[in-house]
Amino acid sequence: MARIAILNYIRRPSPVHELTGTAKLIFFIAWSVAAMVTFDTRVLVCMLLIGAVIFRISQIRIRDISVVLGLAAVFLLLNNLFIYLFTPEYGVEVYASRDVLFPIVGRYTVTAQQLFYHLNITLKVVCVVPIALLFIACTDPSEFASSLARIGVSYRAGYAVSLALRYIPDVQREYRNISQAQQARGIDLSGKDKLFTRLKNSVAILLPLIMSSINRIEVVSNAMELRGFGKEKKRTWYMQRKLQRNDWLAIGFAIAVLAVGLAVTFSNGSRYYNPFV
Amino acid sequence: MAQPIISFKDYGFQYRAQASPTLHHINLDIYPGEKVLIAGASGSGKSTIGSCINGLIPYAYPGENTGQLLVGGKDPKKESIFTLSQIVGTVLQDTDGQFIGLTVGEDIAFALENDCVPQDEMKLTVEETAKLVDIDHHLEYAPHELSGGQKQRVSLAGVMVENVKVLLFDEPLANLDPAAGRTTIELIDEVQERTGAAVIIIEHRLEDVLWRKVDRIVLMDEGRIVADMPTKAFLTDTMLLEHGIREPLYLTALRYAGVPIREELEPQHVESLRLSGEHKEQVRAWYRDNEGRGGADAQRRDILSVENVSFGYTPEVQNLKNVSFSIKEGEMVSIVGKNGAGKSTLAKLVCGFEKPTSGRICLAGRDLSDDTIKERASQIGYVMQNPNQMISKPLIWDEVEMALLAGNMSVEERKERVEETLKICGLYPFRKWPVSALSYGQKKRVTIAGILVQQPRIIILDEPTAGQDYHHYTEIMEFLKGLNEQGFTIIMITHDMHLMLEYTPRAIVFSEGELLADTTAAHVLNDPALVQRANLKETSLYTLSMSCGIENPQEFTKRFIAYEEAHRKGQEG
Amino acid sequence: MKKLSVKSVVAIGIGAALFFVLGKVAIPSPVPNTNISLQYAVEAVFATLFGPVAGVLIGFIGHTLIDATSYGPWWSWIIASAFVGLVIGLATMKLNVEDGIDSRKLIHFNVAQIIAHVLAWGLVAPVLDILIYAEPVEKLFAQGLMAAVANIITTGVVGTLLLLGYAKTVVKRGSLEKED
């Protein structure tokens, strides 16, 4: 229906797909934590390489995710640009040394330290991208809620995630229908109107959307209550799968990466790896 | 006789948010294995009765009750909603709202999951139940891959997994095309046969529910039970119309012909009718007497032409395939076909919301391809199905004026135009009112006014009467007819076969993105092959005329409609 | 901890779906990289109607889904989004918009949303960014300030109008129903 560029579950036979949602969720969390904490170039590069290998195994093709990769690239580029514009000497501060490669203009010079800093911050994001994408593309959304429940999240909160996934297409379709009908009455958000007018115009679409969502909330919660949601402290899951040997291996591997990564990172007493001293 | 499974004794109920009670002195017993239809116009309290039975009252909708209610021998006030949900399974009107799981299998399993049933057992139960309702080949499908009828099967399976003793259906036919509605009624019947559950159907579309045997009909009005009788006896009474419900068409026709409706006639189905030779002659005589009713159409010029239009939301799927037709100025046309046949897509193309991949659309001979949505909107207005999806201003005046604000009209011009539009729509006395104070039918008028204010030549309406009882249906349709008589061209996307027959001389039929037929409305239902391919349903008038030996059922229907209209006018004046 | 009611669970799910869909609808704005984020107006309204827990989770789930389907999660901003819902939800707990709305309540709502956005984008997001990504402070606070201003305007205009519209439609619907 609506063609908003989003990434979806892509069903293919691969060892990554076969892992349970729980294993992939833990893997993903451990991986993001490692990437968040460390600033060690060696660890980041290793993670990136391992990520690339897993990506190969997953049978997901670059083509499947090209739109998403493009977005990530734009985001990274802008982020780096902003950092440089605001603090061209930040790398010098972090790595406590200064090797000028060439000057640009005024206070803007290019230093080896600044470039190295940019490399690291980029790596930090890039090494999570393949794992995040795989997590989305290889995990059956139906397994989400039960996976969250298994790692200790209350099933009520977990089910809210499931409901979000369930109703995104419906909300998207409704948004589209309402906005088309309102466009026919002169309400346009993309136009050349002033910001304030556009904000006011958006209400003409959002108010009906919200009123209908509130109505939907009532219907859905009635339907759930009538079928016994929330009756017991626990619940079972139709789509849950038992953890197999490979799941434990994956979980163990992710935790190992996290542990080794942290150990290497802090072996020199700081989260940065500094080749300049 | 056995103990009733549901028993209301002098029961009354008042919602906490409301000033007066919604139910008064309800006395109603429903026995195991019975099938009961609760009929009534909107606001009659029939849905409130449903909420009392399944426990939403008092758990989700608090309020005060008088008298006594027992469900499965238990007092809902003292039990939890969960205990009740194991006695009563409810299939709600909104199948999208009831479809909670991400796939069919998960949704059927939902109640079992909440009961902590072990997974192996759950999978078995789900499979068995899915087989019962014939959805077992779709267990991995997501809701948006299913038709309305299929979603309803899933809903039904989802409540059946709990082995409930009562199945409660809240307006099961509201969102279905005619053939799917018929299948649903058959399915309910089969399920009841196999499970022996008591079935309660809340619906105002009497004739459609009666497609299969119903033991008893309870008629509600103003929060009271006005009739509670076996089906046959109920149909002999003429009280339906007074209470805002349309009686089965074939019975109305028989009455017009002067045939007294008695229980011996077996009036519950058009097929089962036992008409004597004398009765049939009475019908034929009425048919002959009404010759000349329903006049011929005038010659007019084309206003909208769709030429070889094809379209797909994605390159792989063609939602419309090489569609061509034209509409004449001042016409009132129905576009019919099953859900997903391409009707709404076509409307979107005409309004410019989507662009055709090939072909063109012309208005009065001028190609519209380069016109923006807004430019087209000044010629072609589009009214969505649900008025709540369009109304975005709290005051009627503002809502109607909205489309004019984008242009550069002076304040006086705007005022004049809004007033004029409000007068056309009969809303002028309400102009200062908040929209929230209006009834559904009046809100629908407000949305139409919001479109009319741009003075389009054509108005396209998506399901203008969906889910409406006979009173609101008539109110909306008579209003549209009035607009049509004032010269507006009106195109309606509809599921309602009688609406098509009654109000639009011409019908365009879609199926699977193709235009199947473009002919008179009466002819559409006269062609069994067409009816089947487009998921439509012949009306009972067709069947009745055939059984009375009238060789031209089209003409019979035409005369019926003309007679009914004259009759209605006569009553009003 | 008190259990979430079924209604809250559903409000979170549908609220997050709305947050996601609106977050994905790019509405161009004059300043690059700062789209008009209508999702915060909706989050604010839902937090006001359904409380702080719903507010937190709508922001958290909605924003995570947006990020996860674009370039991987940027946790500091996700947490800031959740924080917005929390603060607005807490600050408006006694507002009872269902009983009608007046200018005092609207001012209350707006003060709450301004505080929430200032704290979220001026403090929570940059501090987390410093901890996680060790980005330069100047850049982060400039970015945070821009986001705060944009979101305050969006929530202030759109959120206020939505609440007003909600109160005028829903409230009356309940009390007028049977008057015809």
ipTM given for this complex: 0.90
C100 touches chain A (CB under 8 A): no
Contacts with A, C 50-69, CB within 8 Å: 57, 61-62, 65, 68-69
Beta bridge partners of A15: none
pLDDT in tens, chain B (573 residues): 688 999 999 999 998 877 889 999 999 999 999 999 999 988 889 999 999 999 999 888 889 999 999 999 999 989 889 999 999 999 998 888 899 999 999 999 999 999 999 999 999 999 999 999 999 999 999 998 888 889 999 999 999 998 899 999 999 988 788 888 999 999 999 999 999 999 999 998 899 999 999 999 999 999 999 999 999 999 998 788 788 888 899 999 999 999 999 999 999 999 889 999 999 999 999 999 988 765 555 567 889 999 999 999 888 888 899 999 999 999 999 999 887 788 989 999 999 999 999 999 999 999 999 998 888 988 999 998 888 888 888 889 999 998 898 778 899 999 999 999 998 888 888 888 888 777 777 888 899 999 999 889 999 999 888 878 888 888 889 989 999 998 899 999 998 888 898 899 899 999 989 999 999 888 888 788 888 888 888 888 888 998 999 988 888 988 898 898 888 777 654
Given a contact cutoff of 8 angstroms between Cβ atoms, the answer to whether A6 and C69 are in contact is: yes
Q: What is the pLDDT of residue B16?
A: 84
Q: Which residues, including other chains, have CB under 8 Å from residue A100's CB and lie 6 or more apart?
A: A109, A110, A111
Contact A166 B102 (CB under 8 A): yes
| Cα first-last separation, chain B | 50
Q: Under an 8 A CB cutoff, do B391 and A234 touch?
A: no
Name the 3-class secondary structure at B227.
strand
A173 inside domain: yes
Q: What single string gives the DSSP state of each residue in C13-48? A: HHHHHHHHHHHHS----SSTT----HHHHHHHHHHH
| Number of helices followed by number of strands (H, E) in chain B | 23, 19
| pTM over 0.80, yes/no | yes
Disruptive mutation site among A20, A222, A232, A241 for chain B (greatest number of B CBs within 10 Å): A222
pLDDT of residue B538: 83
User: Are residues A119 and A134 located together in one domain of the fold?
Assistant: yes
Contact C17 A168 (CB under 8 A): yes
Q: What's the pLDDT score for residue B294? A: 55
Q: What would the 3-class secondary structure string for B340-403 be?
A: CCCHHHHHHHHHCCCCCCEEEEEECCEECCCCCHHHHHCCEEEECCCHHHCCCCCEHHHHHHHH
A178 touches chain B (CB under 8 A): yes
Regarding whether A136 and A157 lie in a shared domain, the answer is no
Distance CA A40, CA A270 (A): 9
Mention every residue, 6+ apart, whose C-beta is less than 8 A from residue A13: A59
Residues A182, A277, single domain; the answer is no
Q: Supply the pLDDT for residue A136.
A: 86
Token reading at C83: 């924080």
- Closest in B92, B382, B392 to A208, CB measured: B392
Phi, psi values for residue B134, rounded to 5°: 60, 50
How many beta carbons lie within 10 A of that of residue A269, not counting itself? Answer: 6
Can you tell me the distance from the alpha carbon of C162 to that of A211, in angstroms, rounded to the nearest whole number?
Answer: 10
What is the three-class DSSP state of A226? helix
C156 in contact with chain A, both atoms CB, cutoff 8 A: no
| B116 chain-A contacts, CB cut-off 8 A | 232, 234-236
If one counts the domains in chain A, the total is 2
pLDDT in tens, C68-83: 877 778 889 999 999 9
- Distance, in Å, from the CA atom of B510 to the CA atom of B198, rounded to the nearest integer, reads 38
Q: Which of A132, A206, A224 sits opposite C158 (nearest CB)?
A: A206
Contact C56, C82 (CB under 8 A): yes
Is the preceding peptide bond at B58 cis, omega within 30 degrees of 0?
yes
Pair A133, A55 in one domain: yes
| SS3 letters across B17-65 | CCCCCCEEEEEEEECCCCEEEEEECCCCCHHHHHHHHHCHHHHCCCEEE
* C7, C177, C180: best to mutate for the B interface, most B CBs within 10 A: C177
Task: Report the alpha-carbon angle B441-B444-B446, nearest 5.
Answer: 115
CB-based contact B436 C178, cutoff 8 Å: no
**CA B266/CA B231 separation, integer angstroms:** 10
Chain A with chain C: Cβ pairs closer than 8 A: 198
3-state secondary structure of B310: strand
What are the two backbone dihedrals, phi and then psi, of residue A165, each rounded to the nearest 5 degrees?
A: -65, -40
Q: Is residue A11 part of a domain?
A: no
In a domain, A59, yes or no: yes
Q: Using CA coordinates, name the residue in chain A closest to B105.
A: A238
CATH topology of domain B302-540: Rossmann fold (3.40.50)
Q: How far is A23 from chain B (nearest CA, A)?
A: 19
Check CB contact under 8 Å for B122 and A236.
yes
pLDDT of residue A46: 93
Could you tell me the CA-to-CA distances from B407 to B117, B393, B401 in Å, in that order?
61, 18, 11
Of C171, C178, A223, C7, nearest to B14 (Cα)?
C178
Torsion angle in degrees (nearest 10) through CA of B345, B346, B351, B357: 80
* Cα–Cα distance, B567 to B252 (Å, whole number): 12
Ranges in chain A, pLDDT < 70: 1-7, 190-193
Supply the pLDDT for residue A4: 40
Amino acid identity, residue C174? G
More confident residue, A230 or C57: C57
- Close Cβ partners of B78 (under 8 Å, ≥ 6 residues apart): none
Q: Is B302-540 the same fold as B6-245?
A: yes
A23 and A129 within one domain: yes
pLDDT at B510: 93
Other Cβ atoms closer than 10 A to B21: 19
SS3 C54: helix
Asked if the model's pLDDT at residue C174 lies above 50, the reply is no
Would you kindly state where each structural domain of chain B is located, as residue ranges? 6-245, 248-289+541-573, 302-540
Q: Are B218 and B239 in contact (CB under 8 A)?
A: no
Judged by phi (left if over 0) then psi (alpha if -120 to 50, else beta), residue B535 lies in: left
- Compare CB distances from C10 to A94, A132, A220 and report the shortest one's residue: A220
Domain assignment present for residue A145? The answer is no
pLDDT score for A19: 92
Confidence of residue C90 (pLDDT cuts 50, 70, 90): very high
Q: Please check whether residue B171 is in contact with residue B208, taking contact to mean a CB–CB distance below 8 angstroms.
A: no
What residues contact A182, with CB distance under 8 A and at least 6 apart?
A204, A205, B390, B392
Taking the C-alpha atoms of residue B108 and residue B309, their distance in angstroms, rounded to an integer, is 40
CB B418 within 8 A of CB B401: yes
Q: Residue ranges per domain, chain C?
A: 6-174
Terminal-residue alpha carbon distance, chain A: 57
N- to C-terminal Cα distance for chain C?
44
Pair A89, A43 in one domain: yes
Residues A114 and A125 grouped into a single domain: yes
| Minimum distance, in Å, between the CA of residue C135 and any CA atom of chain A | 8
Whether the CB-CB separation of C136 and C171 falls below 8 Å is answered with no
Residues A211 and A226 in one domain: yes
Q: Which residue has the tokens 């039975």?
A: B53
CA-CA-CA-CA torsion sign (B383, B386, B392, B396): positive
The answer to whether residues A246 and A130 belong to one domain is yes
Answer yes or no: is A7 within a domain.
no
pLDDT score at A5: 42
Residues A230 and A251 in one domain: no
Question: B6-245 belongs to which CATH class?
Answer: alpha beta
Same domain, A111 and A198: no
Q: Name the residue among C80, C118, C117, C111 with its Cα closest to residue C95.
A: C111
Separation of CA B107 from chain center: 25
Residues of B in contact with A3 (CB under 8 A): 313-314
Contact A164 C3 (CB under 8 A): no
C 108-147 → A contacts, CB under 8 A: 132-136, 138-139, 142-143
Domain C6-174, architecture per CATH: Orthogonal Bundle (1.10)
Exposed e or buried b per residue across B332-360, where buried means at least 16 C-beta atoms within 10 angstroms of its C-beta: bbbbbbbebbbbbbbbbbbbbbbebeebe
Interface partners of chain C (CB pairs < 8 Å, 3 or more) are A, B
Residues A126 and A203 in one domain: no
- A6 within domain boundaries: no
User: What residue numbers bound the domain in which A219 lies?
Assistant: 150-238
C180 pLDDT above the threshold of 90? no
Identify whether the C-beta of residue A155 lies closer than 8 Å to the C-beta of residue A149.
yes
Q: Indicate the residue type of A63.
A: R
| Dist. CA B164–CA B71, nearest whole Å | 12
Domain membership flag for residue A178: yes
Is residue A57 in a domain? yes
